[in-house]
Amino acid sequence: MRPATSLICAFIDTHREEFGVVPICRALGVHGVQIAPRTYWAHRSSAPSKRALWDTTITEILAGIYEPDEKGKRPPECLYGSLKMWAHLQRQGIPVARRTVERIMRHNGWRGVTRARRVPRTTVSDPAATRAPDLVGRRWRVAAPNQLVVADFTYAPMNCGFGYTAFVVDAFAGLIAGWECALRKDRAFVERALRHAAAYRTRQGHPFDDVIHHSDYAEVSVKPRICRDGLRGRGLLANSSA
């Protein structure tokens, strides 16, 4: 499909100082994009279309709202998104289409303020951090309980921000052996979940003997450090995978 004449002419405008109009038209013809030099010059000398003029008008109006003035200030309407901005222009008596406002704002990178909270990331790893050897190799099937436990944590939005829940799952039966909740994601609350799981299985008469603990490459401040904090004494071995 042949591109629009305006796009072809814009391409020629970009390169005509280096190659010239006629060689570019000849090269485009070889690649199946036929355009005569007279067509290019006629397009250059023609008046802008009504849509181009209207887009320029709306762009100037929106630029006066979203771009800071000489004092670095912007009107309160700069907080509006495309829908509210379209309604605002309608109230001002500017009969612009909603799609036009969306297209121009997207093209210029103008956005309104959103109330949505930024979702926390829980998978940011530190390549330079020391990692325990991987003893699992993505093999999650085990023959009996208390052979492999997997620790992870998730989050849920709350009025005060985000709440976090760490849990320890026995890979054999999917049993949640330990869990812990907190209002911040740090290493301590994940380790409390591991201690809870070890104490719970000990009370049941099934202590963590030769259990492999697995956790993904989470943030260094969140990843448990089993080798240094005495979890070995609670029955959870230090030969954990990263």
CATH number for 221 = 3.30.420
Per the structure, how many domains does the chain have? 3
The verdict on 239 and 155 lying in the same domain is yes
Assign 27 to helix, strand or coil: helix
Which residue positions in the chain have pLDDT lower than 70?
1, 115-119, 122-133, 216-242
**8 Å CB contact between 34 and 25:** no
The verdict on 136 and 99 lying in the same domain is no
The verdict on 99 and 165 lying in the same domain is no
- Which residue(s) pair with 161 in the sheet? 158
Q: How high is the pLDDT of residue 232?
A: 46
Residue 234 half-sphere exposure toward CB, CA atoms < 13 A = 19
The verdict on 178 and 219 lying in the same domain is yes
Q: Please give the residue range of the domain that contains residue 104.
A: 49-115
Q: How high is the pLDDT of residue 190?
A: 83
The verdict on 159 and 193 lying in the same domain is yes
The verdict on 104 and 189 lying in the same domain is no
The verdict on 70 and 111 lying in the same domain is yes
16 vs 36: CA distance, rounded Å = 14
What predicted TM-score, i.e. pTM, was given to this entire model? Answer: 0.45
Q: Which is it for strands 148-158 and 212-214: parallel, antiparallel or unpaired? A: parallel
Neighbours of 207 (CB within 10 A): 15
